[in-house]
A and B are shown apart, each in its own frame.
Chain A
């Protein structure tokens, strides 16, 4: 009973995890850059939803496209202004650069918004439904549905549009893509923007039931890295599955162990994956 409830809650939470991880794996898959600021970008999405709600009275379920749009611009700018300059430098340089961006974003949020936990109210905030013997918050259901829909939209974009196709082409072989006339720089910037938009939307969708403060950015980044490694770096389907898997495992860990130890469960998953299948569940081969 408790286990079933944990399973359902975990799975529903997993929608957001998947959306976060899909954004991260897209950025990595296309330009081999790990976005260390991923969780901090999510936090900015959350605060944006918070201010749109308190100042303009916009429900987070209405404002999440705005948050995604704002984060798209941020991601695009980070790629164009910073990452693009060192795209050919060793990985360590890119990692350090993104670590710098993460520090700036997290602490700018801390200085700007303070350390107090926030929560965004939604019209669904107090609604609950019973499905069979299980008790569900409507916010979690709505968030799950929207996160799935956004992930679906993203794969439609990647597989059915010209820009999406050129993105996958640039991911597979940047030189080949450039030879057949792809503007690789633009594709990179758009890919970074979309990755950031995913995590921005994920932040806005989480805000109604997940109290947040600037410091959650780091744990969100670490969780996204976990999911992406477990699913297979650069694999969209792997990130999606990994998100659901990790969220469910964490939720069961909270039931069986203790809520404060739930992150240990996903770290243990990570260690197991690195020991036995370092390419990840759906990854082709380790980079």
Chain B
């Protein structure tokens, strides 16, 4: 297993120079959405607090990084951490409001959706950050400005992000906080009875998850070069973030990555196919159907299912 992972990683590192630009772009998207899914996984998977508004953190990270660069000339390599910190602060506020009274499940979901919508409306109405017109970043191709002539550079940045988030989750799984979070997810009363401060643990998870997601926002900004409130803070982006870990297996280390390898190519293909037919929302119908199917037939996601199968297979031999 370890050898397999190492070989796969080596392949991902050395292949790009030999690949065409389309596979590189596709892989970049796979890594980036796996990264966002992994960041969501901390709160949604391990802590079991479903956030349906993670787009808010992407948006804040993206806008903060871009604005720092545009108006103060601060390089995005530094600005991205300021953006991530801002997103983390918002994650703290949402967590504080949502967890303070031990409110469960849907309250938190509704709160996250509501905050993403607040951000969207504020961004649409704030002329200083472009308002409804959006914010555009002029392309200079200067690596110091997080801009690259070669799409392979974005590939490596996205890969690094994905590995970073996975390393964070790996460490979390082995940490005291991770164990607390899982205990809270499984049975909050029992966890509290054992003396775990559930409020504090969930708050930490919310801040960490939001911080990492905000860091991803900087990548989004400098990959797309245009920031639109409706696409950055909108529900469709939140759905993109949620659906990969859910399909792949939320609360597992490799679930979000597997989910992204399954879904990102599917999304790209169906999007371009349906867009050609003039059906702009059709790929979201596919997502909706997939969510329903996973919940009904494969509630743990694909990774636990495959892992079980693999164990059965190796056990039989």
Interface, chain A (partner B; CB < 8 A): 34, 82, 85-86, 89-93, 95-97, 99-108, 110-111, 115, 214, 218-219, 222, 225-226, 229, 233, 258, 260-261, 263-264, 267, 270-271, 274-275, 278, 286-287
Q: Find out whether the CB atom of B299 lies under 8 angstroms from the CB atom of A107.
A: no
Q: Find out whether the CB atom of B288 lies under 8 angstroms from the CB atom of A92.
A: no
Q: Find out whether the CB atom of B292 lies under 8 angstroms from the CB atom of A97.
A: yes
B281 interface hit (Cβ, 8 Å):
yes
Q: Find out whether the CB atom of A286 lies under 8 angstroms from the CB atom of B117.
A: no
B interface majority secondary structure = helix
B284 interface hit (Cβ, 8 Å):
yes
Q: Which of B97-105, B254-262, B304-312 contacts A (4 or more CB under 8 A)?
A: B97-105
Q: Find out whether the CB atom of A103 lies under 8 angstroms from the CB atom of B285.
A: yes
For B118, the chain A residues whose CB sits under 8 A away are 263-264, 267
For A226, the chain B residues whose CB sits under 8 A away are 110, 114
29 A–B contacts from the bound complex (CB under 8 Å) = A34-B106, A86-B295, A89-B299, A92-B105, A96-B50, A97-B291, A99-B288, A100-B287, A100-B289, A103-B288, A104-B288, A106-B281, A106-B284, A107-B284, A110-B280, A218-B235, A222-B113, A222-B117, A261-B125, A267-B114, A270-B114, A271-B97, A274-B101, A274-B103, A274-B107, A274-B111, A278-B100, A278-B107, A286-B102
Q: Find out whether the CB atom of A229 lies under 8 angstroms from the CB atom of B284.
A: no
For A89, the chain B residues whose CB sits under 8 A away are 295, 299
Q: Find out whether the CB atom of B295 lies under 8 angstroms from the CB atom of A260.
A: no
B152: shortest Cβ distance to chain A, in Å? 34
| Cβ-neighbour of B295 out of A34, A97, A103, A275 (below 8 A) | A97
- The answer for the CA separation of A4 and B231 in the assembled complex, in Å, is 37
Knowing A225-B110, A271-B97, say if A261 contacts B121 (CB, 8 Å). Answer: yes
Q: Find out whether the CB atom of B117 lies under 8 angstroms from the CB atom of A91.
A: no
A248: shortest Cβ distance to chain B, in Å? 19
Knowing A34-B109, A104-B285, A107-B284, say if A96 contacts B104 (CB, 8 Å). Answer: no
Q: Find out whether the CB atom of A115 lies under 8 angstroms from the CB atom of B296.
A: no
Q: Which A-B residue pairs are the 3 nearest by beta carbons?
A: A103-B288, A100-B291, A107-B281
B129 interface hit (Cβ, 8 Å):
no
Could you give, for residues 232-257 of chain B, a 1 whenever the CB lies within 8 Å of some chain A CB and a 0 otherwise? 00010001001000100000000000
For B267, the chain A residues whose CB sits under 8 A away are none
For A261, the chain B residues whose CB sits under 8 A away are 121, 125
Could you give, for residues 114-142 of chain B, a 1 whenever the CB lies within 8 Å of some chain A CB and a 0 otherwise? 11011001101100000000000000000
Nearest residue (CB) in A for B102 is A286
Nearest residue (CB) in A for B297 is A85
B225 interface hit (Cβ, 8 Å):
no
For B292, the chain A residues whose CB sits under 8 A away are 82, 97, 100-101, 104
For A105, the chain B residues whose CB sits under 8 A away are 288
Q: Find out whether the CB atom of B288 lies under 8 angstroms from the CB atom of A102.
A: yes
Could you give, for residues 179-217 of chain B, a 1 whenever the CB lies within 8 Å of some chain A CB and a 0 otherwise? 000000000000000000000000000000000000000
For A258, the chain B residues whose CB sits under 8 A away are 125
For A286, the chain B residues whose CB sits under 8 A away are 101-103, 107
Known contacts A100-B287, A115-B280, then 4 further A-B pairs from the complex at CB < 8 Å, ordered by chain A residue: A97-B292, A99-B291, A100-B289, A287-B104
Of A93, A103, A110, A233, most B-chain CB atoms within 10 Å: A103
- The answer for the CA separation of A108 and B97 in the assembled complex, in Å, is 34
For B13, the chain A residues whose CB sits under 8 A away are none
For A274, the chain B residues whose CB sits under 8 A away are 97-98, 101, 103, 107, 111
For A107, the chain B residues whose CB sits under 8 A away are 281-282, 284-285, 288
Q: Find out whether the CB atom of A263 lies under 8 angstroms from the CB atom of B282.
A: no
Knowing A286-B102, A286-B103, say if A111 contacts B282 (CB, 8 Å). Answer: yes
Knowing A85-B296, A93-B299, A101-B292, say if A264 contacts B121 (CB, 8 Å). Answer: yes
Q: Find out whether the CB atom of B296 lies under 8 angstroms from the CB atom of A97.
A: yes
Knowing A89-B299, A92-B50, A111-B285, say if A103 contacts B239 (CB, 8 Å). Answer: yes
Of A34, A97, A99, most B-chain CB atoms within 10 Å: A99
| Cβ-neighbour of A225 out of B114, B290, B291, B296 (below 8 A) | B114
Q: Find out whether the CB atom of A263 lies under 8 angstroms from the CB atom of B121.
A: yes
Could you give, for residues 266-302 of chain B, a 1 whenever the CB lies within 8 Å of some chain A CB and a 0 otherwise? 0000000000000111101101111110111001000
B133: shortest Cβ distance to chain A, in Å? 14
Knowing A96-B50, A226-B114, say if A104 contacts B289 (CB, 8 Å). Answer: yes
Q: Find out whether the CB atom of B117 lies under 8 angstroms from the CB atom of A263.
A: yes
- The answer for the CA separation of A286 and B25 in the assembled complex, in Å, is 47
For B290, the chain A residues whose CB sits under 8 A away are 100
A17: shortest Cβ distance to chain B, in Å? 16
For A34, the chain B residues whose CB sits under 8 A away are 106, 109-110
Nearest residue (CB) in B for A270 is B114
For A260, the chain B residues whose CB sits under 8 A away are 121, 124-125
- The answer for the CA separation of A106 and B104 in the assembled complex, in Å, is 27
For B299, the chain A residues whose CB sits under 8 A away are 86, 89, 93
For A101, the chain B residues whose CB sits under 8 A away are 288, 292
For A264, the chain B residues whose CB sits under 8 A away are 118, 121-122
For B295, the chain A residues whose CB sits under 8 A away are 86, 89, 93, 96-97, 100
